[in-house]
Chain A
Amino acid sequence: MNLLLEYLGDPAHWTGADGLLRRIAEHLLYTAITLAIAALIAIPLGLWIGHTGRGRVVVVNIVNGVRSVPTLGLLFLAVLLLGPRLPGDIAFLAPSIFVLVVLAIPPLLAGAYAGVDEVDPQARDAARGMGMSPWQVLVRVEIPCALPLLFGGLRSAALQVVATATIAAAVSVGGLGRLLIDGQAVRDYGQMATGAVIVGVLALLVDALLALVQGLVVSPGLKPVPALRTRRPNAQHPEPAPQAG
């Protein structure tokens, strides 16, 4: 703990090309890029599968299968395969983002799919009975009702990405993982502890921010959401379960 305070207390550690502020900014940037790409892929796909009911088996298998792929191995593989084809710093950054996107897709996909799939069939029927087109049913009824679970998926994806972005430092990318890897190289426990604590705090802040957005976006009619609290992990309905990175 003293080592941690000592490290944090030194202003020289905060600014500069490899200062804490720069590392935090990098870490947040990687997280944001990853989540944006993963959301663009996973959310439309999940909504489509939930809406049409097609390809459920595929979702369950993708979610469970991708979870079992070791992120570190995939990262090294991606860097060795893609790296030589890319210029400069991108050679390490792009493969790292790719691996983080792979990691973020399962919870997002599961959240979007389960959200739409668990919409009360009566609400769906009522919407159809009012003469809504399939598109209107999706946009006006299913998506708003799916938001709590969708946000659940997004938040667990964000937690995973913030935590796992640290191992990208193993392939000489920036971010807070640098403190862990560089600190370990020179046995600087203060630096490592600082990195670990800041990542944890960052994860909590990102989660709190998303919770705030969720509170603003989700319709008041859907709160409180007992379904989200009491859901149980189930092989048929993959919960966007948290997974540490």
Chain B
Amino acid sequence: MTWFLDHVPQVWSLLVTHAVLAALPLLLGLLVAVPLGWLARRYPRLYPPVVAVTGLLYTIPSLALFILMPLVIGTGILDPRNVVVALTLYTVALLVRTVADGLAAVPDHVLQAATAMGIGPLRRFLAVELPLAVPVIASGLRVAAVSNVSIVSVAALIGVPQLGSLFTDGFARAFLDPIVVGIVASVLLAAAFDLAILAGSRALTPWVRARGAR
């Protein structure tokens, strides 16, 4: 405990870096997954291959992906961009199927009603389908967020500083305090992400609550 009190600023700065390294891939992953999910939904023949290929990404160990990234995108081994790109891939892998399934769950009669009201395809997607799929997409995003926060710490093994550095540091000195602080901070960060996404999803879908209240 005294170790933590002595190192609050350091832990805080690692926590902030950790949060950025975990959050950025979520946003980027979402941006990539929505069009891909739309494609898989719009052209059902694309669904199996898209889901299979993105699912394959999951078999690559994160440590291997972090290490190999520099070879693929030409960055330095210590570049935090390796971590962001690798985690974006994992996020996409998880979200594409969720987005496609979420869009598929939008009731047909709603789409027909929208079309009958003269809403064009693009606006129908942005203003009707996507909002209705928000709860499903958000639940996928929550899984991705929690897993990203956990995986970021593995990057400490290749020397990218974040909360995982507390693990390697503590292990090298056989000193438990930093490791425990790192685990607690990481779990709290994951919980914060989870709550933030849940709150965002609720705010974007007021009708869900209205239905529940009736």
- Chain A residues at the B interface, C-beta cutoff of 8 Å: 64-65, 67-74, 76-77, 79-81, 159, 162-164, 166-167, 170-171, 177, 180-181, 183-184, 189, 192-193, 195-196, 199-200, 203-204, 207, 230-235, 241-245
Contact = CB atoms under 8 A, between A and B. Distances in A.
A232 B90 contact: no
Interface in B20-53: none
A170 B157 contact: yes
A244 B146 contact: no
B186 A193 contact: no
Interface string B56-76: 101111111101100100000
A232 to B, nearest CB: 5
Given A163-B60, A196-B64, A81 B182 contact: no
B70 to A, nearest CB: 9
A244 B182 contact: no
Contact of B164 (A73, A204, A244): A73
B15 interface: no
Contacts of B157: 72, 167, 170, 181, 184
Nearest to B47: A229
B153 A73 contact: yes
A69 B185 CA distance: 10
A232 B67 contact: no
Contacts of B167: 70, 72-73, 76
B186 A235 contact: no
27 contacts: A64-B146, A67-B150, A67-B190, A69-B183, A70-B153, A70-B182, A73-B164, A73-B183, A79-B171, A80-B171, A80-B174, A81-B176, A159-B59, A166-B64, A167-B154, A180-B64, A180-B67, A195-B64, A196-B60, A200-B64, A233-B98, A233-B140, A235-B139, A243-B143, A243-B150, A244-B90, A244-B147
Q: Which of B147, B176, B179 has the most CB of A within 10 A?
A: B179
A67 B101 contact: no
A199 B158 CA distance: 18
Nearest to A1: B71
Given A74-B183, A167-B157, A68 B101 contact: no
A110 B41 CA distance: 27
Q: Which of B71, B136, B166 has the most CB of A within 10 A?
A: B71
B136 A68 contact: no
B63 A166 contact: yes
A245 B60 CA distance: 9
Contacts of B67: 180, 183-184, 192, 196
Contacts of A192: 64, 67-68
Contact of A77 (B68, B90, B101, B180): B180
B85 interface: no
Interface string B125-165: 00000000000100110110011011101101110000110
Contacts of B101: 230-232
A65 B90 CA distance: 20
A76 B105 CA distance: 43
A68 B68 contact: no
A34 B94 CA distance: 24
Contact of A70 (B94, B105, B149, B171): B149
A52 B59 CA distance: 35
Contacts of A180: 61, 63-64, 67
B104 interface: yes
A181 B61 CA distance: 13
Contacts of B61: 163-164, 166-167, 177, 180, 196, 199-200, 244-245
A184 B158 contact: yes
Given A73-B183, A232-B98, A233-B143, A68 B60 contact: no
A199 to B, nearest CB: 5
B191 interface: yes
Contacts of A79: 171
B149 A80 contact: no
A28 to B, nearest CB: 15
Contacts of A234: 139
Nearest to A206: B59
Nearest to B189: A68
